[in-house]
Structure 1
Amino acid sequence: MKQITTLFLLCFASSIFAQHSIEGTLLENNTNTPIAFANIYLPQIEKGATTDESGYFFLNNLPTGSYKIVCSFIGYESYSKTISIPLTESLEIFLNSSAIEMEEIIISTPFHKLQSENVMKVEQEKITDLKAKGAITLSDGITNIAGVESISTGMSIGKPVIRGLSSNRVLVYTQGVRLENQQYGSEHGLGLSDSGIESIEVIKGPASLLYGSDALGGVLYINPEKFAQQNTQTGDLNATYFSNTLGYNTNLGYKSSGENLKFLFRGSLSEHSDYDTADYRVTNTRFKEQDFKAGIGYQDSKIKTEFRYNVNNSKLGIPEEIGEQTKSKSPELPYQEITNHVFSSKSNVFFDNSSLEINLGYIYNNRKEFEEHHDGHEEHSEEEEEEEEHDDEALEAALQMKLKTFNYDIKYQLPVYGKFETIVGTQGMNQINTNYGEEQLIPDATTNDFGLFAMSHIHFDKADVQLGLRFDNRVIDVVDSFNKNFNSFNGALGVKTKIANTITARVNFATGFRAPNLAELTSYGTHEGTNRFEIGNENLTSEQNFQTDLSLEFKNEHIEFFANGFYNIVNNYIFLLPEGTFIDNEPVYNYVQDNAKLYGGEIGFHLHPHPIDWLHFESSFESVTGKQDNGEYLPLIPANSLTNTIRIENDGEKIQKQYAFIALRSTFNQNNVSQFETTTSGYNLLSAGFGGVVSLFKKDLSITVSGSNLTNKKYINHLSRLKPEGIYNMGRNISVGITYTL
């Protein structure tokens, strides 16, 4: 750390800073007409502007160096080019009209490129699009992303699954720092609200080179909303009602930016009753969530820095069986109460032709679980319910764990040398787990991570190559028990090339690793929601994998087609195996290891016939198979699915950004199950929605209406943790949402 600080000070002292500006005009390529209200953005500097009615834009307080400029507007191909600052003349940029949806900058990869320029295939979805499809929670919304599913416990608790891998094999990043909230537990959800989130990116496959241990299966990278553009301010009010849960999500936000200083804040509240099926409401799937996000930033030509804070408090019912039918929104016993505090800072220092990025994070996770402590009655008066709710608040948690995590991520981007862009860096983490409740599932322990890595992007005439190498060390120190040390070298190599003018191919080879977590090493016990007695194994070794990815994309004026395939070999795969005995009337499960392999992929088709560009036909299929070396199937592998969508988009004079869609998602039978799972029948879910933006008091009012499971189908998802009890997933739901710009 001392060497890194010295390097930083030397670079800072030896560099001569200069303040520059750029200006230019954005024009339509065929007609030379100005494009107004388009987005101009420099992703490495995180600074942008909007063109005026004459297509003119201006950006000031820019550092010396080579930076990418990205121009985007609906109905046009996104433009990307590297420019050298200072510029000697004004820019004149031409955009080509296109029915292909405009691209966004990918933040989760280190070089911040458009997806078409990326060597790695990364999926990105805007949170507004996921909510327009009727998503109730963030965990629910991510299942609309190809290759991503969720292990669910009702509607409030969900864990991301990327190509069949989940829990500690999938790393979650928020506000630029890794989120740690006891994600080893199958009944432990994300602990994040979708309010104040702009987009979600998914790296499918080992990303240990970029993020270290726990990124063996992939990364879910959650981008917070951006600050307002320079010298602007804006606010908005959002509210959504859900018919199935009789619930609502609402949030209010405001942000303002001056010449250098900027800030934002957003508060949200959600409450939901038990979700409904065609036959019954699922008892104690109700939940409440409160969330607050704030940020402050400063930027000039020398340095850009921001500090963000997020606190999320959730009270989540843990369903066990179908019981009293009620519309109450207050969870009954057993339930979880979880508070997450996420503090993060991100700073960029710009030198001549190079830059230093420093990300720091502190996550404080307080998890409480309350269990039954008295005999319940089938019927209660309102007064009795209020008294019981008050008594529950005074209960001591049967299980309480506090997880305190400090992590850092420091990257230095070297000056561009010929065809090479190169980043070197270090990442690390200090994590302390402490128990306070009368029950203890995992012991008090400290975890320390340290990693060093280097990565280069090489631009050849006909191909782009990305390669890198990394070393990691993880030390787990369990109080009064043992100390474990895990080391790993990992690498990645990828190539992107155009086979023809309309066909792009990507091939990626990557290794990843995951050290066993505390639950796998030390568990001895059970608690509400697990339905089993878990026994850890301190002799477990690290999981190590090697994955091959192949991606083909075809794009022309009318059609887009993609095919992604992967083959993932995982050595020393850790999983739970029943012992055949019982403790405290719960079946005993042991953590064991075996080699495994997963394979499959995604295929997609998008037709947007010209000149009727407002009409879209979309179809996608996703499949994954997981097996142990002995031929048995792995548990919790999602079923194959096919989604077909017809979508209409248009801009009218009175109603802007009009859209409507109808979609049919077909989930097939899951017969490839582990020895201790049951098969799951397939089902079809029909959904539809529409929306648009109108002017109200000279401000924008966005209205969305969507319906999911419109036929009120009775079904059970293979990844539902309520499946053993034969409890259905959610029935028909109609959601109505509004967003008003203040």
Structure 2
Amino acid sequence: MRKIFSVVFFLAAIMAAHSQTSVRGNIVNSETSQPLENASVYISQINKATASDTNGNFQFSGLGKGVYSLQVSFLGFESEVETLTVEDEKEVIINIKLDPQPFAIQEVVVAAAYEKPQQEETFKIDVIPKEQLSKTGGMSVMDIIPRVPGVDAVTTGPLVSRPVIRGLSSNRVLTIVDAIRFETQQWDDEHGIGINELGMDHIEIIKGPSSLLYGPEAMGGIVRFVEEKPAEVGTTKADVEAMAYSNNRGGRVEASIKSSKENFNWGFRALGKLLSDYFYDGFDFRVPNTRLLEYGAKGFAGINKPWGNSKLSYTFNKAYYGILDGKDIVKDEDGRIINIDSLEKEKFPFEIEAPYHGVTDHRIISKTTLLTGASTIKATLGYQNNHRTENEELAGSKKGYTYLDMILKSYTYDVKWVMPTMHNFHTIVGSQGMLKTNTNGDDGTTQLIPDATIKDIGLFGVSRYEQDRYNFSVGVRYDHRNLDTEESQDPSVFQPAISRSYDNLSYSLGAAFEPIEHLIFRASVATGYRSPNLNELMSNGVKLESQRFEVGNSDFTKETNTEFDGSIAYEGKEISMEGSAFYNSINDYIYITPTSEEVSSNLDPDVMVPLFEFQQNDAHIYGGEFMLNVHPTAIPWGHLESSVSTLKGQRSDNDAYLYQMPPTKWNNDVFITWDHLGQLTGWTLNVGTNTSFEQHQVAPNEMETDGYTLLHLGLDTHFKKMEFFLNANNVLDTKYLNHMSRFRSYEIYSPGRNISLGIKMPLM
């Protein structure tokens, strides 16, 4: 790892003597030719941002020879990406015309490897701006991710959830944060995604294994958290945002400051959340111990020179998640749940009490981009330390005792070479690797997974061929993994030492064709793989949260899949629609299933608990999504968004349904805007429904769920430079069981009505 750091900074040093030039440009409305003031212009190769002046003009200086991508965006207009080649010291002049689109589908330019507008990608990338969190009254990023058709979430209450992409979750979904693979203890369905909105600009979601650029184990897809851009050159910006929620009487606060000079930028951001237990049935029933305390901070500093840019960031985050423990749940004669924590005297308790998870994260990331003329080298190095503890109940102690103590350290590298363009071929080759160590700390009284070391190395190459109306892409990736575990020292759990190796060759093929303007056909086929995780290989004991005895199998082989995708999209001025279908064939799919047997608990031999086993069989998942957006020019103040997603997952040997597959969903939103009302400007009213259909296609012994429809309202407006948000989710206080909730087996309903109020205010 030290050698890699040395090479990167040595290359940066020898490039420092590059000649440099400047770029001037003008941004106007394509229909009226009027200049656009405060349009955002960003060049990722030098990590530099600026804004247009009153005449629509902008300028960058200090550029060396190379190929640059100018990302240009302005509210109410389609974003654009302009490719710029600097070959000598002459000033480069570029004029940019943006097309008006009051309800642009892609408000944020997709920051994919090729930095192309969405319509030029051979596979779809869904983009979720961070602003959606406040505009929808969300408490975490997992409140906005499931708004994408085909994406759902496995939840353990409203504050602990993780993404499901087309029926696949856990290690089958790859999470990328600040350009590195994010590693946490994601093998457990009670562990959330572990990421918050701190320092985030937007989220990108890629469905299926089509992208080979980010790492292995993306069988289901990729959730990519893209960090915020630096401040515009010559400015210092600071703001604060706060939200309050009625259902759990909680709130969150985020504050930031960032500044940029010609060759240097820095920033600091802090976040805090405090949320009590959630309610349904008005405020008649509090779901015990579903509270959260979270706080964190992120700082970064970067330099940009004619040779490129380099940036170093550090993130700290601490979170305490309450656990609704399965062993404590009993019902009275009326069928209402009684929980030990229900004896809490406060109606809105905030104090963290056992049982709970405590998660501490440290992340250090170094990103360097080197411009070498017609090509670019990108190197990202990362260190992550994820420390998770679980405290269980102990008489006479609110904090209980430490049941689990797990430390996960990950060292990652990612090097990409964006090669010179040759005959319309744009090629990227690179390598990624990871060293991951899992250690059980001294404070824990039990061990769920053994001490282990995992070593990864991957090599890949992806190429695109571009013409006026069609694009082709082809990619290949090789991955090798070594996994070594140590024999368990816990006398109550036998876990022998094992050593396993996994090799895999993946590929992807994609094509996009635009026969007429605005009509796009896409088709792709791609393969992926995933090695069994430590839980699936080594489980041999009782899980306290679910009160079941889980048994793994150390002989499991790797999972592989092949997914076929096809879509048709029309993106017009007044109407946009897209229909897509997929078929995912999975070899050696690993799943957990009840055996209908009971065995003695390894923690207390006198207690009998149900036996669950991990098993492996071939499976297939197929389905599709449809999206419709109507934004008529005759009604510029109105906009409609509608989407439907459906899928079916089955074992291939007996057609039995897979466990916890998302039901069919139908979402609708109507947006109404107006300019001003009194001194308040920029009004947007959102009225929408989220419909989940009944789910009867369930695995053996899995609980079925009924359908339901939830109503939500949203309103945001501006007063001078301040922005206000008012949202109401589940307006009718509907009682419903979410099929993706781990609480449904306890017959615990999801959150009732929740009203939120927020403000975002610039400080400078």
1:374 deviates by: 1.7
1:151 Cα deviation from its structure 2 partner: 0.7
SS in 2 for 1:143: helix
CA contact (8 A) 2:23 2:91 kept: no
Give the AA of the match of 2:610. P
State whether structure 2 residue 613 is matched by structure 1 residue 590: yes
Report deviation, 1:75.
Answer: 2.6
Answer yes or no: is 1:637 the counterpart of 2:645: no
Letter in 1 for 2:236: Q
Q: Which one-letter code corresponds to 2:402 in the other structure?
A: A
For residues 304 and 634 of structure 1, do their structure 2 counterparts lie closer, same or farther at Cα, with a shift above 3 Å needed? same
- Aligned-pair CA distance for 1:442: 0.5
For residues 561 and 208 of structure 1, the distance between their equivalents in structure 2, rounded to whole angstroms, comes to 23
Within a 5 Å distance, the mapping from 1:168-567 to structure 2 comes to 168-207=171-210, 209-278=212-281, 279-320=284-325, 321=329, 322=337, 323=339, 324=342, 326-374=347-395, 388-389=397-398, 392=399, 395-436=400-441, 437-480=444-487, 481-567=497-583
CA distance in 1, matches of 2:172, 2:600: 29
Secondary structure of 1:90's partner?
strand
Q: Where do 5+ consecutive residues of structure 2 fail to align?
A: 330-336, 488-496, 602-607
How many residues matched? Answer: 722
Note the C-alpha offset of 1:506.
1.0
Q: In structure 2, do the counterparts of structure 1 residues 78 and 249 end up closer, same or farther at CA, with 3 Å as the change threshold?
A: same
Q: Which amino acid aligns with 2:580?
A: N
Cα distance per residue 1:521-562 (max 9 Å; x no partner): 111122332332111111100100000111211122211111
Distance 1:726 1:337 in 2: 26
Q: CA deviation at 1:363?
A: 0.9
Deviations 1:596-645 (A, max 9, x none): 11111210111111132221011110112111111000011111111111
Alpha-carbon shift at residue 8 of structure 1 (Å): 9.8
Structure 1 window deviating more from structure 2 (19-28 vs 158-167): it is 19-28
Q: Is 1:724 equivalent to 2:745 in the alignment? A: yes
Cα contact 2:12–2:370 (8 A) shared by 1: no
Is the 1:691–1:703 Cα contact (8 Å) retained in structure 2? yes
Distance (Å, rounded) in 2 between the aligned partners of 1:441 and 1:716: 29
Q: Is the 8 A contact 2:109 2:118 kept in 1?
A: yes
1:31-70 paired onto structure 2 within 5 Å: 31-70=32-71
AA of the residue aligned to 1:561: M
Deviates more, 1:59-68 or 1:183-192: 59-68
Q: Is the Cα–Cα contact under 8 Å of residues 693 and 701 in structure 1 kept in the other structure?
A: yes
Looking at structure 1, the residues matched to 30 and 142 of structure 2 have their Cα atoms a distance apart, in angstroms, of 41
Tell me the amino acid that sits aligned with residue 288 of structure 1.
L
Rounded Cα–Cα distance in structure 2 between residues aligned with 1:208 and 1:401: 31
Alignment partner of 1:621 is 2:682: no
Contact map agreement 1:62 1:300 (CA 8 A) in 2: yes
Bigger drift between 469-478 and 299-308 goes to 299-308
Distance apart, 1:11 and its partner CA: 10
Distance 1:559 1:445, change over 3 A: same
Taking the aligned partners of 1:10 and 1:43, their CA distance within structure 2 comes to 19
Please state whether the residue corresponding to 2:402 is helix, strand or coil.
coil
Residues 684, 68 of structure 1: alpha-carbon distance in 2 compared, 3 angstrom cutoff:
same
Are the aligned partners of 1:153 and 1:187 in contact in 2 as well (CA < 8 Å)? yes
Q: CA RMSD for the aligned pairs?
A: 2.1
Kept in 1, the 8 Å contact 2:106–2:127? The answer is: no
Give the conservation status (yes or no) of the 8 Å contact 1:108–1:221: no
Instruction: Write the letter of the residue equivalent to 1:687.
Output: H
Q: Which residue of 2 aligns with 1:604?
A: 627
> CA 1:101–1:180 in 2, change beyond 3 Å: closer, same or farther?
same
**How much has 1:192 moved relative to structure 2?**
2.1
User: For residue 19 of structure 1, what is the amino acid of its counterpart?
Assistant: Q
1:182-205 Cα shifts (integer Å, max 9, x gaps) = 000000112222232221111110
**Residue pairs, 1:80-119, within 5 angstroms:** 80-86=81-87, 89-101=92-104, 103-104=106-107, 109-119=112-122
1:364 Cα deviation after fit: 0.5
What does 1:680-699 align with in structure 2 at a 5 Å threshold? 680-695=705-720
CA gap of 1:516–1:172, structure 2 versus 1, over 3 A, is same
- Which SS does the other structure have where 1:520 is aligned? helix
Kindly indicate whether the alpha-carbon contact (under 8 Å) linking 2:575 and 2:628 is maintained by their aligned counterparts in 1: yes
Please say if residues 408 and 429 of structure 1, whose CA atoms lie closer than 8 Å, have aligned partners that are also in contact.
yes
Shift in alpha-carbon separation, 1:411–1:346, aligned structure 2, 3 A? same
Cα distance change of structure 1 residues 10 and 91 upon mapping to structure 2, 3 Å threshold:
closer
Q: C-alpha separation between the residues in 1 aligned to 2:513 and 2:209?
A: 21
**Equivalent pair of 1:175/1:308 in contact (CA under 8 Å):** no
What one-letter code is carried by the residue in structure 2 that aligns with 1:637? Answer: M
The code of the aligned residue for 1:406 comes to: Y
Q: What letter is aligned with 1:682? A: G
Q: Structure 1 residues 608 and 14 mapped into 2: Cα distance closer, same or farther (>3 Å)?
A: closer
Q: SS state of the match for residue 453, structure 1?
A: strand
Tell me, yes or no, if the aligned pair for 1:569 and 1:598 is still in contact at 8 Å: yes
Measured in 2, the distance between the counterparts of 1:605 and 1:72 equals 23
- Equivalent residue for 2:687, pick from 654, 662, 673: 662
The separation in 1 between residues aligned to 2:62 and 2:105, in whole angstroms, is: 27
**Cα contact 1:75–1:102 (8 A) shared by 2:** no
* Identical positions, percent: 34
Q: What is the rounded CA distance, in whole Å, between the counterparts of 2:655 and 2:702 in structure 1? A: 15
Query: Letter of the aligned partner of 1:74 in structure 2?
Result: L
Q: Which residue of 1 aligns with 2:490?
A: none
Q: Quote the Cα distance in structure 1 between the aligned partners of 2:372 and 2:698.
A: 55
Deviates more, 1:97-106 or 1:517-526: 97-106
**1:733 to partner: Cα distance:** 0.3
Give the Cα separation in 2 of the matches to 1:201 and 1:344.
20
- Give the aligned residue type for 2:484: D
SS across alignment from 2:288: coil
- 2:493 aligns to what? none
Query: For 1:715, which of 723, 736, 741 is the aligned residue?
Result: 736
SS where residue 171 of structure 1 aligns? strand
